[in-house]
Structure 1
């Protein structure tokens, strides 16, 4: 259950009662984006809890349309409390910024470690603009998932694979008129929520200065959202920050180089956070 009665869909992998790792996806994604990582965490003795951020996937849309950081952090807090009151937070892209905001706001003993995946307060404006263009589709939707795939490929400057629509379909919903839409509440990305770079900069850097838990930033070498300057700015706020750069990965680090990411994540956890089994 999220904050204010908003239901949050989760996918739990591993033994109930084991040390929890809460996985927060990026904007426009779903909990299934963490499935392979969840299996690796479970095999290492962790309990992986991947959620659909409010307004995404199977989680409830916000009845009042509130998708600001305060409400998103309250949802993350509810997940930590449901997992026993302490957890590792791992977040990709916007999910990383939510995790950072939560780690800076909550009591230190609730956050065992923090892992940010291609997420820094000082993101690159051009990369964020590219992502935003994907997340704000036509109000009337698409003729088909394949049409959505073609629009996505055009934004990324790539060709459309013949099976791209079929693979995208799980991330879409069909309305009564037969039009296809992304699975998230379109109100989520309204600028009034303050999720953009400049509106959130002071909040996120202030949160970063309060983080005491072991913290890792994993960024993609080819990312157009997070660069070395953004990583350095975050390191200036978190003196104990560790940084890993994954060669050949873009902004979608977990999808681009999942095995490499999982190995880096598990090594970091092994060095900093002991696993506690059920009971």
Structure 2
């Protein structure tokens, strides 16, 4: 990936893969992807961070990409936050954490619980209030690939159906990096057991209150970056978050959907690195 190097961090009992770019003396910026994604979704942001002199790190969360899967098949927000806290302890200085969706939730929980580990926080289209319909669309898409795909073109068709606002790529080499070939079929690079996350009734009941409490406890500089067409974060959800976190900054990217970095990369980089450069 550009001029990046492969690295490994230790989470809570699992090894987590990462790409690292930029000068070792640069302020560290840690990018965390969303559900079903991998560190490769940050390719352009990683390179831009390195170009600007930051020590940019893109991490695969447990059960995703090249990171180890949970040995017991368990996944929950607390576990992702524990992994993140362990990773942050391995940095020479507190990084600026940029988290999309699931990665943002882990970042918010960790920054609230141990602010000494986080220099600043960027939440990419995620708040304490998550819209059900948008979440269901994400999980339905992930579920549709559980049995794998016969060809790369079939996988590309599934992505195009899920993201109709994007032009379907003619070259499947990019999508191939997010798939693995097993028994003659292509599977996404994430643990199928991840689909059980949130199925436990006690977890579902406690999660909203825990996220609101974490938002209210945030003291680090915070930016909420929202896609104007997001179905995960509504206008009301963004306003509510800013009431919980009065010191937070807020940027809407009008034509972007949930995956802002992919939908409007230039606008995303401008908003993120303007904030990062000030903190």
TM-score greater than 0.5 by the shorter chain: yes
SS in 2 for 1:45: coil
* Aligned counterpart, 2:192: 186
* Aligned counterpart, 1:38: 46
* Aligned counterpart, 1:276: none
Using the TM superposition, give the Cα deviation of residue 88 of structure 1 relative to its aligned residue in structure 2, in angstroms: 1.0
CA distance in 2, matches of 1:195, 1:245: 33
SS in 2 for 1:167: helix
CA distance in 2, matches of 1:92, 1:234: 16
1:73·1:101 contact (CA, 8 Å) conserved in 2?
yes
Q: Which runs of 5 or more residues in structure 2 are unaligned?
A: 1-8
Using the TM superposition, give the Cα deviation of residue 200 of structure 1 relative to its aligned residue in structure 2, in angstroms: 2.0
Using the TM superposition, give the Cα deviation of residue 96 of structure 1 relative to its aligned residue in structure 2, in angstroms: 0.9
CA distance in 2, matches of 1:230, 1:72: 23
CA distance in 2, matches of 1:158, 1:256: 9
In the comparison of the two structures, how many residue pairs are matched? 270
Equivalent residue for 2:181, pick from 174, 185, 189: 174
Return the structure number with greater relative CO, CA threshold 8 A, min gap 6: 1
CA distance in 1, matches of 2:202, 2:224: 20
| Residues 34/154 of structure 1: CA separation in 2 closer, same or farther (3 Å cut) | closer
* Aligned counterpart, 1:277: none
Q: Map 1:52-131 onto structure 2 (within 5 A).
A: 52-106=60-114, 108-131=115-138
| Residues 45/162 of structure 1: CA separation in 2 closer, same or farther (3 Å cut) | closer
Moved more, 202-211 or 33-42: 33-42
Using the TM superposition, give the Cα deviation of residue 216 of structure 1 relative to its aligned residue in structure 2, in angstroms: 0.3
Using the TM superposition, give the Cα deviation of residue 170 of structure 1 relative to its aligned residue in structure 2, in angstroms: 1.1
Using the TM superposition, give the Cα deviation of residue 66 of structure 1 relative to its aligned residue in structure 2, in angstroms: 2.1
Moved more, 66-75 or 19-28: 66-75
Structure 2 length-normalised TM: 0.89
CA distance in 1, matches of 2:81, 2:226: 23
RMSD of equivalent CA atoms = 2.2
SS in 2 for 1:189: helix
1:202 matched to 2:230: no
Using the TM superposition, give the Cα deviation of residue 42 of structure 1 relative to its aligned residue in structure 2, in angstroms: 1.9
| Residues 149/197 of structure 1: CA separation in 2 closer, same or farther (3 Å cut) | farther
